[in-house]
């Protein structure tokens, strides 16, 4: 995979306890059109507040990211750290401070060791010629068990371009913003307003359609940088090239979002929840999210127990308009219930077989209207408890 | 404890697998003023639909309840069972069918074995002189580990009266209606409109202020019957006797609600979440419930990890109005954070000691207004997963 004009570097700054890389830098050789979507939480981490200011220019050229400390609930000292970090990166690279995005992930409420970051930045800048995107994907992991990457290429005019992305997730996965961090880079030239629209749409259908534990983070950030270095004619809305770009972008984000669910803390199952027949799309999303976030449903998935009644119970309290006599439910292609009642003993055995798979779909038809939604979730397991009961220790 | 004019009976009808009592009958020798609050889920169990019709008369004289089968998502066959059950009880007791309340708890989506209930009702009616309220509390248990009972007595005029209640909970505990089933009986004479008001208020401050796993059941029912057999002058609103009755009723319901949380599936901690300084009371409740339902917060409680940042994160996504620079947090009397940031290393050690207790309070001041709320919750444990992964097997 080659994304022209992007350079990468990682170092071990000592923010994490273990001997792992914990600080990364992404640099575009030229200023890139940039769009970011941040957590909607009212408790926002300092780097989110600073990055949100910086992105208003619509331009980004560098991104510095650390793991091991979220720099959230750190008050004014945290803001000073985030600002100084971006200024030091800007100075090191010879670019504007507002062209630097700052991201953090890790423990909340602990002051960031600014000295360690200050010491590490020269080495980080120095290393830009030797690093890879994979290094960054590794450096941003916290309780993630594998790095998350995806790349696709497209054609615009005579130029071929690449859209590549990385993400980290694991815990605190819930819309709106599901991912904690995801960075997308493309060497395509894309008209800025079109870039914004397609990116926001893609985020809605991917990171905002996944849930692991229903918790939203203080640090969620999803960012795209388009630097135009592939030399293609600028991609615009309404063109065939625009449609292709939108499809490619969706594929990259959806792949990253699914990887996050598959690596959900302690997850052993990947479940696609499909709702149709809802009064409207937002009712469908409500029903899907209620199922995807239900502890009772998720433990039943873990137990491979075809306890479909819990799914109907979740639909019932979701707030979506429901006529229980019209509900139907499938596990993959096995009909578990129709007209609101059990489809029969045969379904029980066959449904249980479906749940024994690592991946399956749960499809509900509300039978009322034409609203649809799809969300992705995992099961709730012993391992989730173990990971989160002593995350900091 | 003596609640005049109430009789109780339980039998083993064979609805549950094990050799446990699973069917109970409560009978008032005279018709009682009655109020019920049911699940707000749109997927309501058949007994809820039938009981809701019956309670419109404002009168109840008998209540039949089974465990082992929820008679939910059972369609028209389920409705026929619930109706026939109430008719058979009415015939056996020589009362109106509408004076019979029907309640069920257990697995969702399985047709009720009507034959077993039909066979058991004569023995159930027969046994009314020998049973106790404690027997009923035992018979309605599902994954509960202990029966939940509370009683208080009061004075009105020259008569003393009793308010006694039982409840079952364990899983699917979430407002609005938190409890799966709770039945309150009093031999006081209470003016019906006042009974309704005080009962609904008491439910709001108790069962609607607890949460174990955020799931709401299809069968939640909370019912009060006041039969006036103590011979007191009718208790009315605005009187000293009315105030006393309201206090007693609150105490009984709050005690039952707390017992449900303490017996939350796999719970090892009982946590009181207190919010003050919110913009208004509903904002306070939103913040409290976001904390109480956060899987990340609840696993940290289990791990006795003073990870206060997760609590602020939950407040942040709760939807309540928040200025993070004004937030403060206490574990019991230990200040963990003020002005949105950590109170210091000393707090860490002392806060951890608080979390080692079986019961503690988490208090948050949002620092904005005068809204308050208190909710009760438990931790999220390995045992919860074990119980719910194979509840049916």
Q: Tell me whether residues A73 and B324 touch, CB distance under 8 A.
A: yes
- Whether residue B258 sits in one domain with residue B336: no
Q: What is the pLDDT of residues B47-84, one digit of tens each?
A: 999 999 999 999 999 999 999 899 999 999 999 999 99
Report if residue B91 sits inside a domain.
Answer: yes
Q: Which of B39, B85, B142, B179 is catalytic?
A: B179
- Report yes or no on A1 lying in a domain: no
What's chain A's length in residues? Answer: 393
**Count of beta carbons in the 10 Å neighbourhood of residue B96:** 16
Hey, which of A165-174, B211-220, B227-236 has the most confident mean pLDDT? B227-236
Digit-coded pLDDT (tens) for A90-116: 999 999 999 999 999 988 888 999 999
A281 and A190 both lie in a single domain: no
For the cut 80, the answer to whether the pLDDT of residue A393 exceeds it is: no
pLDDT at A262: 87
d(CA A107, CA B365): 22
Same-domain check for residues B254 and B366: no
Q: Residue A197, class by beta-carbon neighbours within 10 Å (0-12 exposed, 13-18 middle, 19+ buried)? A: middle
Task: Write down the pLDDT at residue A175.
Answer: 35
Give the C-alpha separation, B72 to B78, whole Å: 7
Cα–Cα distances (Å) from B187 to B6, B24, B167, B278, in that order, read: 8, 20, 18, 40
Asked if the structure places residue B306 within a domain, the reply is yes
Band of the pLDDT at B143, cuts 50, 70, 90? confident
- Tell me, yes or no, if A342 comes closer than 8 A to chain B by beta carbon: yes
Same domain for B113 and B165: yes
Residue B171: per-residue pLDDT: 55
Say yes or no: A73 and A220 in one domain: yes
Torsion angle of the four alpha carbons B292, B293, B296, B300, in this order, in degrees rounded to the nearest 10: 30
What pLDDT score does B179 carry? 46
Average model confidence (pLDDT) across chain B? 91
Return d(Cα A299, Cα B190) in angstroms, integer: 44
Cα separation of A273 and A260, whole Å? 16
Q: Report CB contact under 8 Å: B299, A342.
A: no
Q: What is the pLDDT of residue B170?
A: 61
Q: Model confidence over A36-56: pLDDT tens digits?
A: 999 888 889 999 999 999 999
pLDDT value at residue B215: 62
Calculate mean pLDDT across residues A119-148: 93
List the single residue in B with minimal CA-CA distance to A345. Answer: B110
Same-domain status, A97 and A227: yes
Kindly determine whether residue A42 and residue B322, on different chains, have CB atoms separated by under 8 Å. yes
Instruction: Indicate if the pLDDT at residue A216 is higher than 80.
Output: no
Residues of B304-326 as b/e, b for ≥16 C-beta within 10 angstroms?
bbbbbbbbbbbbbbbbbbbebee
Average pLDDT in the B323-347 region? 93
Chain A residues near residue B340 by CB distance under 8 angstroms: 73, 75
Which residue of chain A has the CA closest to B175? A317
Interface test with A, best of B77, B109, B269, B293 (most A CBs within 10 A): B109
- Separation between Cα atoms, residue B311 and residue B52, nearest integer Å: 39
Nearest chain A CA: its distance from B151 CA (Å): 32
Res A390: pLDDT: 61
Q: Quick check: B109 contacting A, CB < 8 Å?
A: yes
Determine, yes or no, domain membership for B311. yes
Residues in chain A closer than 8 A to B384 (CB atoms): 295, 299, 385
Which chain A residues are Cβ-neighbours of B314 within 8 angstroms?
215
* pLDDT for B385 beyond 80: no
Cβ neighbour number for residue B26 with a 10 Å cutoff: 25
Q: What is the pLDDT of residues B102-124, one digit of tens each?
A: 999 988 888 999 999 999 999 99
Residues B229 and B325 in one domain: no
Contact A316 B41 (CB under 8 A): yes
Question: Alpha helices, DSSP H only, in chain B?
Answer: 46-55, 75-93, 114-126, 133-139, 192-205, 240-262, 281-293, 295-302, 308-317, 345-355, 382-389
Tell me whether A324 touches chain B (CB under 8 Å).
yes
pLDDT over threshold 60, residue B174: no
- Measure the CA–CA gap between A314 and A330, rounded to whole angstroms: 15
Beta pairing class for B328-331 and A359-365:
unpaired
A236 and A304: one domain?
Answer: no
pLDDT given at position A300: 87
Q: What is the mean pLDDT of residues B365-384?
A: 90
Catalytic site residue A179? yes
**Residue A179: pLDDT above 70?**
no
Are A294 and B385 an interchain contact pair (Cβ–Cβ within 8 Å)?
A: no
Partner A contacted by B349 (CB < 8 A): no
Q: For residue A62, give the 3-state DSSP assignment.
A: strand
CB contacts, 8 Å: B41 with chain A: 313, 316-317
Q: Do A313 and B218 touch (CB under 8 A)?
A: yes
- Which of B48-52, B291-295, B355-359, B389-393 shows the lowest per-residue confidence on average (mean pLDDT)? B389-393
State the Cα–Cα distance between residues A284 and A370, nearest whole angstrom.
9
What is the average pLDDT value for chain A, to the nearest integer?
A: 91
Domain boundary among B234, B262, B290: B262
- Check whether A391 has a pLDDT greater than 70: no
Spatial contact of A106 and A66, defined as CB atoms under 8 Å apart = yes
Give the span between the Cα atoms of A230 and A228, in whole angstroms. Answer: 6
Interchain pair A337, B73: CB under 8 A: yes
- B215/A110 CB distance under 8 A: no
Of all residues in chain A, the percent with pLDDT exceeding 70 is 94
For residues B241-254, one letter each, b for 16 or more C-beta atoms within 10 angstroms of the residue's C-beta and e for the rest, the string is bbeebbebbbbbbb
Most A-contacting residue of B176, B265, B295, B297 (CB-CB within 10 A), to test interface:
B295
For the segment A312-339, the average pLDDT, to the nearest whole number, is 94
In this complex, the residue of B213, B321, B337 whose CB is nearest that of residue A73 is: B337
Specify the pLDDT at position B242. 97
Same domain, A294 and A248: no
Flag whether pLDDT at B178 surpasses 50: no
The reported pLDDT for the residue numbered A36 is 97
A274 shares a domain with A239: no
In a domain, B1, yes or no: no
DSSP A96-114: -GGGEEEEEEEESSS---H
Q: Give the residue among B163, B211, B150 at the shortest CA–CA distance from B189.
A: B163
Across the interface, whether the CB atoms of A382 and B380 are under 8 A apart is answered: no
Interface check B335 vs A, CB under 8 A: no
Q: How far apart are CA A112 and CA A118, in angstroms?
A: 11
Q: With bands split at pLDDT 50, 70 and 90, how would you rate the model's confidence at A192?
A: very high
pLDDT at site A122: 97
* Section A188-199 average pLDDT: 97
B380 within a domain of the structure (yes/no):
yes
Q: How many CB atoms lie within 10 A of CB A56?
A: 9
CA distance A261 to A147: 13
Strands B159-168, B148-156: pairing kind: antiparallel
The yes-or-no verdict on residue A368 having pLDDT over 50 is: yes
Q: Which CATH number do you get for residue B254?
A: 3.60.70.12
Q: What is the CATH number of the domain that holds B302?
A: 3.10.20.340
User: CB–CB of A335/A347 below 8 Å?
Assistant: yes
Nearest partner of B180 among B227, B216, B147, B206, judged by Cα: B216
Of B72, B307, B321, the CB nearest to A392: B307
* B217, B310, B343, B378, best to mutate vs chain A, most A CBs in 10 Å: B310
**Positive or negative: CA dihedral B136, B137, B143, B146:** negative
Among A208, A234, A262, the domain boundary falls at: A262
Q: Looking at the complex, does the CB of residue A295 fall below 8 Å from at least one CB of chain B?
A: yes
| Residue B124 placed within a domain | yes
**The dihedral of CA B11, B13, B16, B20: what is its sign?**
positive
Mean pLDDT of B335-350: 91
> Residue A145: is its pLDDT beyond 60?
yes
Q: What is the pLDDT of residue A386?
A: 75
Q: B108 — contact with chain A (CB < 8 Å)? A: yes
Q: How many independent structural domains does chain B possess? A: 2
Q: Which of B208, B296, B314, B344 to mutate to test the interface with A (most CBs of A within 10 A)?
A: B296
**Do A214 and B293 make contact, defined as CB atoms within 8 angstroms?**
yes
d(Cα B214, Cα A215) in Å, to the nearest integer?
Answer: 13
Lowest-confidence region among A252-256, B19-23, B133-137: B19-23
Residues in B touching A111 (Cβ below 8 Å):
342
| Residue among B75, B77, B380 minimizing CB distance to A385 | B380
Interface of A with B in 159-218 (CB under 8 A): 171-172, 174, 213-218
- pLDDT value at residue B8: 98
What confidence score (pLDDT) does residue A171 get? 55
H or E stretch at B98: none
Size of interface A-B (CB pairs under 8 A): 234
Q: By residue range, what is the domain housing residue A357?
A: 270-389
Q: Please tell me whether residues B274 and B258 are part of one structural domain.
A: no
- How far, in Å, CA of A236 to CA of A191, rounded? 5
**Is there a contact between B341 and A305 if contact means CB atoms under 8 Å apart?**
no
Residue B20 has pLDDT above 70, yes or no: yes
- Tell me whether B380 touches chain A (CB under 8 Å): yes
Do the bridges between strand B359-365 and strand B328-331 make them parallel or antiparallel, or are there none, so unpaired?
antiparallel
Closest CA to A89 of A189, A9, A171: A9
Of A262, A283, A303, the one marking the end of a domain is: A262
Q: Are residues A382 and A300 in the same domain?
A: yes
Quote the CA–CA distance of A216 and A363 in Å, as a whole number: 25
pLDDT at A9 over 90: yes
Q: Which chain B residue shows the shortest CA-CA distance from A303?
A: B389
Q: Within a domain: residue B228?
A: yes
Mean pLDDT confidence for B341-346: 87
Residue of chain B nearest A328, judged by CA positions: B73
Q: What percent of chain B has pLDDT over 70?
A: 94
């Amino acid at each position: 995979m080659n994304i022209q004009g992007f350079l990468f570097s990682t170092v071990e700054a000592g923010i994490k306890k273990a001997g792992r890389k914990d600080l990364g830098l992404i640099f575009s050789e030229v200023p890139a059109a940039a769009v970011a979507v941040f957590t909607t939480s009212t408790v926002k981490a300092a780097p989110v507040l600073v990055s949100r200011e910086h992105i208003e220019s619509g331009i980004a050229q560098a991104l510095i990211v650390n793991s091991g400390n979220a720099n959230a609930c750190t008050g004014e000292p945290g803001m000073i750290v985030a600002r100084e970090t971006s200024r030091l990166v800007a100075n090191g690279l010879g670019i504007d401070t507002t062209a630097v995005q700052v991201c953090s992930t890790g423990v909340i409420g602990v002051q960031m060791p600014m000295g360690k970051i200050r010491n590490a930045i020269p080495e980080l800048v120095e290393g830009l010629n030797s690093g890879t995107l994979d290094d960054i994907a590794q450096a941003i992991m916290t309780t993630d068990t594998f790095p998350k990457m995806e790349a696709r290429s497209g054609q615009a005019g005579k130029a071929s371009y690449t859209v590549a992305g990385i993400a980290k997730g694991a815990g605190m996965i819930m819309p709106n913003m599901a991912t904690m961090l995801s960075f997308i880079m493309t060497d395509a030239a894309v008209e800025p307003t079109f870039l914004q629209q397609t990116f926001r749409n893609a985020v809605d259908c991917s990171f905002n359609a996944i849930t692991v534990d229903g918790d939203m983070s203080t640090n969620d950030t999803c960012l795209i940088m388009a630097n135009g270095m592939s030399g293609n004619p600028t991609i615009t809305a309404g063109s065939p090239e625009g449609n292709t770009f939108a499809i490619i972008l969706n594929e990259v984000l959806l792949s990253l979002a699914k990887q996050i669910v598959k690596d959900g803390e302690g997850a052993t199952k990947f479940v696609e929840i499909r709702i149709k027949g809802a009064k409207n799309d937002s009712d469908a999303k409500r029903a899907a999210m209620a199922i995807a976030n239900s502890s009772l449903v998720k433990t039943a998935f873990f137990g491979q127990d075809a306890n479909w009644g819990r799914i109907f119970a979740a639909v019932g309290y979701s707030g979506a308009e429901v006529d229980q006599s019209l509900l139907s439910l499938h596990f993959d292609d096995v009909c578990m219930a129709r007209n609101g009642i059990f489809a029969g003993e045969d379904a029980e055995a066959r449904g249980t077989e479906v749940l024994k798979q690592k991946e399956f779909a749960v499809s509900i038809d509300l039978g009322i209207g034409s609203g649809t939604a799809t969300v992705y979730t995992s099961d709730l397991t012993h391992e989730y408890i173990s990971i989160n009961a002593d995350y900091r220790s």
